[in-house]
Amino acid sequence: MLFLAELDHVKSGATLTPEAGRAFIERVIFPTLARAEQLVSEKKILAGGPVVGRIALRFIVEADSSEEVDRLISSFPLWPVAGTRVTPLITFAERRNHVQALLEGLARYSQQHAELGEKSR
Protein backbone atom coordinates (compact mmCIF):
# COMPACT_ATOMS: atom_id res chain seq x y z
CA MET A 1 0.00 0.00 0.00
CA LEU A 2 1.15 3.51 -0.75
CA PHE A 3 0.76 6.53 1.53
CA LEU A 4 1.58 10.21 1.16
CA ALA A 5 3.15 11.42 4.41
CA GLU A 6 3.39 15.10 5.32
CA LEU A 7 5.24 16.36 8.39
CA ASP A 8 5.33 20.09 9.18
CA HIS A 9 7.21 21.55 12.13
CA VAL A 10 4.79 23.45 14.36
CA LYS A 11 6.45 26.63 15.55
CA SER A 12 5.93 27.49 19.19
CA GLY A 13 6.07 31.23 18.58
CA ALA A 14 9.00 31.65 20.94
CA THR A 15 12.20 33.08 19.51
CA LEU A 16 15.04 30.58 19.79
CA THR A 17 18.39 31.56 21.15
CA PRO A 18 21.34 30.65 18.94
CA GLU A 19 22.13 27.82 21.36
CA ALA A 20 18.58 26.47 21.23
CA GLY A 21 18.58 26.74 17.44
CA ARG A 22 21.83 24.81 17.24
CA ALA A 23 20.47 22.15 19.61
CA PHE A 24 17.30 21.82 17.49
CA ILE A 25 19.37 21.32 14.35
CA GLU A 26 21.67 18.78 16.02
CA ARG A 27 18.96 16.87 17.94
CA VAL A 28 16.00 17.05 15.57
CA ILE A 29 16.80 18.13 12.02
CA PHE A 30 19.98 16.11 11.39
CA PRO A 31 18.60 12.94 13.02
CA THR A 32 15.34 13.34 11.06
CA LEU A 33 17.27 13.58 7.79
CA ALA A 34 19.36 10.55 8.78
CA ARG A 35 16.21 8.55 9.58
CA ALA A 36 14.67 9.52 6.23
CA GLU A 37 17.83 8.46 4.39
CA GLN A 38 17.76 5.13 6.25
CA LEU A 39 14.15 4.55 5.21
CA VAL A 40 15.04 5.38 1.60
CA SER A 41 17.85 2.81 1.70
CA GLU A 42 15.37 0.27 3.15
CA LYS A 43 12.99 1.14 0.28
CA LYS A 44 10.24 2.16 2.72
CA ILE A 45 10.32 5.75 1.39
CA LEU A 46 9.93 5.56 -2.39
CA ALA A 47 10.12 9.27 -3.23
CA GLY A 48 10.00 12.70 -1.67
CA GLY A 49 12.17 14.87 0.50
CA PRO A 50 12.39 18.04 2.56
CA VAL A 51 10.17 20.96 1.55
CA VAL A 52 12.13 23.94 0.23
CA GLY A 53 12.40 26.78 2.74
CA ARG A 54 10.50 25.05 5.54
CA ILE A 55 11.07 22.54 8.29
CA ALA A 56 8.84 19.98 6.63
CA LEU A 57 8.92 16.65 4.79
CA ARG A 58 6.79 15.13 2.05
CA PHE A 59 7.27 11.54 0.94
CA ILE A 60 5.63 8.43 -0.42
CA VAL A 61 5.77 5.43 1.90
CA GLU A 62 5.22 1.82 0.95
CA ALA A 63 3.83 -0.19 3.86
CA ASP A 64 1.63 -3.21 4.53
CA SER A 65 -0.72 -1.37 6.91
CA SER A 66 -1.61 1.99 8.38
CA GLU A 67 -0.16 0.76 11.68
CA GLU A 68 3.20 0.25 9.98
CA VAL A 69 3.03 3.80 8.59
CA ASP A 70 2.18 5.12 12.05
CA ARG A 71 5.23 3.40 13.54
CA LEU A 72 7.42 4.68 10.71
CA ILE A 73 6.18 8.28 11.01
CA SER A 74 6.54 8.33 14.78
CA SER A 75 10.15 7.13 14.45
CA PHE A 76 11.18 10.56 13.09
CA PRO A 77 12.74 12.86 15.70
CA LEU A 78 10.67 15.68 14.16
CA TRP A 79 7.39 13.87 14.85
CA PRO A 80 6.72 15.12 18.43
CA VAL A 81 6.93 18.75 17.25
CA ALA A 82 5.23 18.29 13.86
CA GLY A 83 1.77 18.41 12.47
CA THR A 84 1.35 15.18 10.52
CA ARG A 85 -1.01 14.15 7.75
CA VAL A 86 -1.03 10.72 6.09
CA THR A 87 -3.11 10.05 2.97
CA PRO A 88 -3.67 6.50 1.65
CA LEU A 89 -3.11 6.28 -2.11
CA ILE A 90 -4.15 3.86 -4.81
CA THR A 91 -2.44 3.34 -8.14
CA PHE A 92 -3.64 5.02 -11.32
CA ALA A 93 -4.57 1.58 -12.68
CA GLU A 94 -6.68 0.83 -9.60
CA ARG A 95 -8.52 4.14 -10.03
CA ARG A 96 -9.02 3.51 -13.75
CA ASN A 97 -10.49 0.05 -13.00
CA HIS A 98 -12.78 1.50 -10.33
CA VAL A 99 -14.03 4.28 -12.60
CA GLN A 100 -14.48 1.79 -15.46
CA ALA A 101 -16.67 -0.35 -13.20
CA LEU A 102 -18.68 2.74 -12.24
CA LEU A 103 -19.11 3.64 -15.91
CA GLU A 104 -20.30 0.13 -16.72
CA GLY A 105 -22.76 0.24 -13.82
CA LEU A 106 -24.13 3.56 -15.05
CA ALA A 107 -24.48 2.15 -18.56
CA ARG A 108 -26.43 -0.86 -17.19
CA TYR A 109 -28.64 1.46 -15.14
CA SER A 110 -29.34 3.67 -18.17
CA GLN A 111 -30.11 0.59 -20.29
CA GLN A 112 -32.49 -0.82 -17.66
CA HIS A 113 -34.15 2.57 -17.19
CA ALA A 114 -34.63 2.93 -20.97
CA GLU A 115 -36.11 -0.58 -21.23
CA LEU A 116 -38.58 0.16 -18.42
CA GLY A 117 -39.61 3.35 -20.22
CA GLU A 118 -40.28 1.45 -23.44
CA LYS A 119 -42.37 -1.20 -21.63
CA SER A 120 -44.60 1.41 -20.01
CA ARG A 121 -45.66 2.85 -23.40
Q: Write down the pLDDT at residue 117.
A: 73
Instruction: List residues bridging with 6 in a β-sheet.
Output: 58, 85
CB neighbour class for 112 (10 Å; exposed up to 12, middle 13-18, buried from 19): exposed
Answer with the residue of higher pLDDT: 16 or 103. 103
pLDDT at 15 exceeding the cut of 90? no
pLDDT in tens, 36-82: 999 999 999 999 999 999 999 999 999 999 999 999 999 999 999 99
Average pLDDT over residues 89-118: 89
At residue 8, the 3 state secondary structure works out as: strand
Amino acid present at 60: I
Closest CA to 77 of 36, 113, 112: 36
